[in-house]
């Protein structure tokens, strides 16, 4: 890369992924099969959970997880629903499945340091209607997951993680995506691994896994063991393959994505290591600009991107800086979707009365992030320094 061009994302594929794709093409088996099952095993082993269930996107991972929790023997709910506590800063498909599963959103503010859900605000928000906590690990940074787990356990709430931006991050000796009842992950092009499109849900819960297996493919019983938590099998494969037990979806992944994902997971430790080296250099660069405040992760970030807030003392507004970077071919984006409660779609989502959200507002109005990659970015970050000066 020239150093005069700093894109937000870049491909991490090489000949290994191309060979994996050819293997699938030669097999003539293109939808969910042995390659997907192999990736599920490899991915669960990497995250440190007993199970992983693959779907066609990280957004679908959230959808299937919330749908499965609704039917779970312990965590489930009926028409009365309840509330899930969520951070005010995330992507839309963190929130939509909560409402689609019959629950309401209770937004709380995020921490000014790491931009993840504020534990103190979570504690204040827990009430008689609370069903669970949906933590988001933002831009590679782990939320305060041990403290959130304590809150969840002491109040008999589920804790789930949207880990779509933070694969490989670690806190308290465990990778993100493995701290709660389940974690969701994305394998979209710009994320830590890329499988074209793809998502995975990790969990230690056998019942939850079986519910998700059914829900991702029409709600049928096909693929479930004889002794399962969804519905008894008759023992007749013909009948059991065409019996529908749950109001499911069709979010099955492709074999191409499974095969590519297996190669990506093999590369993942090295890619995360390089992202962390880039993150350390980014903090050195940004330290030279007192008017920029970077994200300060708790634990070990996997550095999805490099975020910063433009202060009132800056020579440029956030919008002026975004335009300046864009003119220099440095791609940048808002901090995810900023304060999500300021989007018009909120009129269509069930939610509790909104509290004051000052940190989310600051990120919304003054935040930016630039990209990180699996290769060294010293030249790109030096170029960023030049453009900020």
Instruction: Compute the distance between CA of residue 321 and CA of residue 180 in angstroms, rounded to an integer.
Output: 38
- Torsion (CA) 219, 224, 227, 232 in degrees, nearest 10: 30
Catalytic residue, candidates 191, 192, 373, 374 = 191
Distances (CA, A) of 172 to 2, 295, 300: 39, 19, 9
- Number of Cβ within 10 Å of residue 229's Cβ equals 17
Residue with tokens 């690990």: 137
- The full 3-state SS of 54-120, as one line of letters, equals EECCHHHHHHHHHHHHHHCCCCCCCCCCCEEEEECECCHHHHHHHHHCCCEEEEECECCCCCCECHH
Structure tokens at 292: 């920029």
Phi-psi category of 369—alpha, beta or left, where left has phi over 0 and alpha has psi -120 to 50?
beta
| Kind plus residue range of the DSSP H or E element containing 170 | strand 170-171
Give the burial class of 374: count Cβ atoms within 10 A of its Cβ; 0-12 exposed, 13-18 middle, 19 or more buried: buried
Helices (H), the chain: 15-27, 34-47, 58-71, 92-100, 119-125, 145-154, 206-215, 237-240, 255-286, 318-327, 358-366, 378-388
Asked about 72 being catalytic, the answer comes back as no
Pairing of strands 158-162, 332-333: unpaired
Half-sphere exposure of 179 (CA within 13 A, CB side): 31
Instruction: Compute the distance between CA of residue 383 and CA of residue 377 in angstroms, rounded to an integer.
Output: 10
**For the chain, how are helix, strand and coil distributed in percent, rounded to 5?**
40, 20, 40
- Torsion (CA) 337, 341, 346, 349 in degrees, nearest 10: 100
Contact present, 230 and 214 (Cβ < 8 Å):
yes
Contact present, 81 and 104 (Cβ < 8 Å):
yes
Residues with catalytic annotation? 191
């Amino acid at each position: 890369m020239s150093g005069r061009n700093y894109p937000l994302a870049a491909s991490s594929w090489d000949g290994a992924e191309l060979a994996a794709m050819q293997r699938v093409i030669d097999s003539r088996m293109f939808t969910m099969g042995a390659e997907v099952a192999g990736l599920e095993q490899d991915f669960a082993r990497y995250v440190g959970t007993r199970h992983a269930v693959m779907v066609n996107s990280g957004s679908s991972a959230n959808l299937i997880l919330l749908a499965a929790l609704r039917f779970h023997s312990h965590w489930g709910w009926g028409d009365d629903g309840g509330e899930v506590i969520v951070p005010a800063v995330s992507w839309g498909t963190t929130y939509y499945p909560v409402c689609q599963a019959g629950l309401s959103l209770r937004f709380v503010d995020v921490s000014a340091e790491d931009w993840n859900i504020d534990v103190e605000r979570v504690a204040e928000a827990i009430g008689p209607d609370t069903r669970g906590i949906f933590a988001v690990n933002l831009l590679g940074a782990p939320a305060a997951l041990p403290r959130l787990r304590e809150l969840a356990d002491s109040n008999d709430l589920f804790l789930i993680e949207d880990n779509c931006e933070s694969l490989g991050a670690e806190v308290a000796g465990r990778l993100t995506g493995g701290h709660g009842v389940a974690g969701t992950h994305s394998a979209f092009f710009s994320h830590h691994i890329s499988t074209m499109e793809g998502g995975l849900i990790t969990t230690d819960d056998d019942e939850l896994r079986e519910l998700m297996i059914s829900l991702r493919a029409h709600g049928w019983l096909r693929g479930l063991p004889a002794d399962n938590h969804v519905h008894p099998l008759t023992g007749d494969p013909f009948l059991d393959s065409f019996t529908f037990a749950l109001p499911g979806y069709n979010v099955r992944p492709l074999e191409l994505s499974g095969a590519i994902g297996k190669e990506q997971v093999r590369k993942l430790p090295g890619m995360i290591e390089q992202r962390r080296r880039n993150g350390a250099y980014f903090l050195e660069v940004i330290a030279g600009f007192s008017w920029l405040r970077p994200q300060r992760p708790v634990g070990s970030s996997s550095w999805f991107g490099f975020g910063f807030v433009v202060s009132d003392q800056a020579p440029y507004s956030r919008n002026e800086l975004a335009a300046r970077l864009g003119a220099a071919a440095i791609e940048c984006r808002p901090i995810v979707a900023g304060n999500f409660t300021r989007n018009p779609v909120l009129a269509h989502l069930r939610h509790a009365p909104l509290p004051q959200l000052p940190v989310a507002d600051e990120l919304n109005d003054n935040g930016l992030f630039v990209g990180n990659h699996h290769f060294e970015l010293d030249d790109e970050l030096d170029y960023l320094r030049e453009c900020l000066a």
